[in-house]
Chains A and B, each alone.
Chain A
């Protein structure tokens, strides 16, 4: 059993004392920051990223992964207790979770989320371990033309799943790709768009882009109407779900896990789609659909499981293809690169201990989440009471210090302000920021493979259509684009998301 050997290697790495310790620290920090209202997982990971740069690569990645699912989990707590989802996927949890909290059943809601997340995390970790090696071996056969088409496909599919109009999402991707060209040209070393500032030769740091788009822009949005921000934190009394609750959450957890594990692989926010879909499914199969929106525990257990399963399986494209499925994975790519590891299909063979250690640590992280969150619920409730006037200066200050510490480069700090404003204005115009970040991270890959493919084909662009893998991916990308743009189908997409209201 190769799978078992691999998992054994993984656990022998992940169970090293320092790795368990930093997994714990990551989960704890991630939850703590994720609980704070208005800070989603992307901003949390971006802000805490610099802390990990001084560690061993495995330890750093384990801690980052911990921060990620900790933050994801913390967001659900906030959604349930004060009805302020930090992220779109937690918006579904807020529907019935907060309703339960208002009926004095915050405890069972939190418990259902925790248990669902744990089951989903366990199953998805095994799925990840089983799916990664075959995918990576396929990916190793990819030439530059195939890789170019793959990246393009990934970017286009991310639009199909983004909310808002496809045209704007497409423009945001292209803008991200464009901003990614700042810095030295990979082939000729010519500095591009640097205004003769040596600090810009390395390009714009992706952490600045992420912190600006997701941190600063979000704070500006929150400061728009301060008066309405009075958080009433629900009391948490009895945590343990009743026997009736336990009976009702089993099937939703299992269905949510399956849906989430499958959809999480999709680029561009599969976890958002997963939780929405799970909610829609639960409402449809339920014998009491009228209870949904009024505190149905299935509406918490299903989406939360889906969400967490998707969070785990979204590591599959990152680890096997080097393609980030969403902004947090884009940040993980940055973390790999900082540690001198090129993310992609080679990692599994070149760094087996790191690869399998990271996967095993995800299961350990899920155990830690379960053990931590329910007993510490009192602490999280207290964190929710931190007034916003203290919170947002803290976020801005830590963001500035954190980005400065990346390379002691003042331009990285200026960039947060620039991307904060750009992101804020564009968000207000109905443009989602996530596609921009994905484009920014994938842009250099797109350019490098385009140019390499053309060098190999002696300038003949038909290479993208004559290579079967590349041609198939381009056809799929085109199909995804048609689906996203066609108005008739777009209306149906709107129906899926209408469940939110």
Chain B
């Protein structure tokens, strides 16, 4: 295996260091306690420090002798659209109700594919809305209102 500087290793290491550090900073805000009676901050502090150390090791290895793995293309459009669709669902399902939220979420998600045509997207969204209403509300009796308060119904 060829070995040289590796961007994915450095990126992964960086992510570990960042998240670990965030938890360490947070943990210092809680009581640490004593070994006999550990406070709420002690365990996250220990593990956070471990994550930072491992992250540094991975990033360091990436700079000196990382495994060469290619990062490959990133589907930016899909990434953005799917995140927006999921956040939209979480935020509006109680306010707009199940049917409109599902329809919009499905339509948005469909647009994540670069190859989709608008007519297909609308058809897929409509079909999925009907299917999920039947499965989740009629079949599984989920207690989510079909139409929410934002619609004034």
Interface residues, chain A, with chain B CB atoms under 8 Å away: 51, 54, 165, 167-168, 170-171, 174-175, 177-178, 181, 185, 187-188, 190, 192-193, 216, 219-220, 223-226, 388-390, 392-394, 396-398, 400-401, 404-405, 408, 410-414, 416-417, 420-422, 424-426, 428-431, 443, 447, 450-451, 454-455, 458-461
B89 to chain A, nearest CB (A): 4
A431 to B120, CA, bound (A): 36
Q: Are B38 and A454 in contact (CB under 8 A)?
A: yes
**Chain A residue at smallest Cβ distance from B109:** A393
Known: A181-B43, A430-B69, A454-B38. A396 touches B86 (CB 8 A): yes
**Chain A residue at smallest Cβ distance from B124:** A390
Q: Are A174 and B93 in contact (CB under 8 A)?
A: no
Q: Are B112 and A392 in contact (CB under 8 A)?
A: yes
**Chain A residue at smallest Cβ distance from B131:** A394
A481 to chain B, nearest CB (A): 13
Could you jot down 19 A-B contacts, CB within 8 Å?
A: A168-B58, A178-B23, A178-B44, A181-B44, A192-B41, A223-B75, A223-B112, A226-B114, A394-B131, A400-B90, A404-B89, A410-B90, A416-B86, A417-B82, A422-B15, A447-B43, A450-B38, A451-B38, A454-B36
Partner of B35, one of A174, A185, A454: A454
Number of interface residues of B (CB under 8 A): 74
In the complex, which residues of chain B have a beta carbon less than 8 angstroms from the beta carbon of A187?
Answer: 38, 40
Partner of A398, one of B15, B23, B71, B132: B132
In the complex, besides A175-B19, A220-B79, 17 extra interface pairs with C-beta distance below 8 angstroms are A174-B50, A188-B39, A220-B75, A220-B82, A224-B73, A226-B113, A393-B106, A393-B109, A397-B128, A400-B86, A404-B93, A414-B90, A422-B15, A429-B11, A430-B8, A430-B12, A450-B43
A414 to B43, CA, bound (A): 26
Q: CB within 8 Å of A: which of B1-24?
A: 8-9, 11-12, 15-16, 19-20, 23
Q: Are B142 and A428 in contact (CB under 8 A)?
A: no
Q: Are B34 and A459 in contact (CB under 8 A)?
A: yes
B55 to chain A, nearest CB (A): 6
A276 to B76, CA, bound (A): 35
What 1/0 mask marks residues of chain B from 79 to 90 whose CB sits below 8 Å from any chain A CB? 100110111011
Partner of B11, one of A167, A193, A425: A425
Q: CB within 8 Å of A: which of B46-91?
A: 47-48, 50-51, 54-55, 57-58, 61, 67, 69, 71-75, 78-79, 82-83, 85-87, 89-91
In the complex, which residues of chain A have a beta carbon less than 8 angstroms from the beta carbon of B112?
Answer: 223, 392-393
**Chain A residue at smallest Cβ distance from B89:** A400
Q: Are B47 and A174 in contact (CB under 8 A)?
A: yes
In the complex, which residues of chain A have a beta carbon less than 8 angstroms from the beta carbon of B58?
Answer: 167-168, 171
In the complex, which residues of chain B have a beta carbon less than 8 angstroms from the beta carbon of A390?
Answer: 124, 127
Q: Are A425 and B47 in contact (CB under 8 A)?
A: no
In the complex, which residues of chain A have a beta carbon less than 8 angstroms from the beta carbon of B8?
Answer: 428-430
Q: Are A426 and B12 in contact (CB under 8 A)?
A: yes
Q: Does residue B153 face the partner (Cβ distance < 8 Å to A)?
A: no
Q: Are A388 and B113 in contact (CB under 8 A)?
A: yes
A138 to B36, CA, bound (A): 28
In the complex, which residues of chain A have a beta carbon less than 8 angstroms from the beta carbon of B73?
Answer: 224-225
**Chain B residue at smallest Cβ distance from A177:** B47
Partner of A455, one of B36, B43, B61: B36
Known: A171-B51, A393-B128, A429-B9. A413 touches B86 (CB 8 A): yes
Partner of B78, one of A51, A220, A397: A220
**Chain B residue at smallest Cβ distance from A431:** B12
B16 to chain A, nearest CB (A): 5
Q: Does residue B119 face the partner (Cβ distance < 8 Å to A)?
A: no
In the complex, which residues of chain A have a beta carbon less than 8 angstroms from the beta carbon of B50?
Answer: 174
Q: Are B86 and A417 in contact (CB under 8 A)?
A: yes
Partner of B128, one of A216, A394, A410, A421: A394
In the complex, which residues of chain B have a beta carbon less than 8 angstroms from the beta carbon of A460?
Answer: 35
Partner of B86, one of A174, A414, A425: A414
Partner of B9, one of A397, A400, A430: A430
In the complex, which residues of chain B have a beta carbon less than 8 angstroms from the beta carbon of A421?
Answer: 79, 83
Q: Are B30 and A192 in contact (CB under 8 A)?
A: yes
Q: Are A167 and B51 in contact (CB under 8 A)?
A: no
B58 to chain A, nearest CB (A): 6
Partner of B113, one of A171, A389, A420: A389
In the complex, which residues of chain A have a beta carbon less than 8 angstroms from the beta carbon of B109?
Answer: 392-393, 396-397
Q: Are B90 and A413 in contact (CB under 8 A)?
A: yes
**Chain A residue at smallest Cβ distance from B136:** A401
**Chain A residue at smallest Cβ distance from B50:** A174
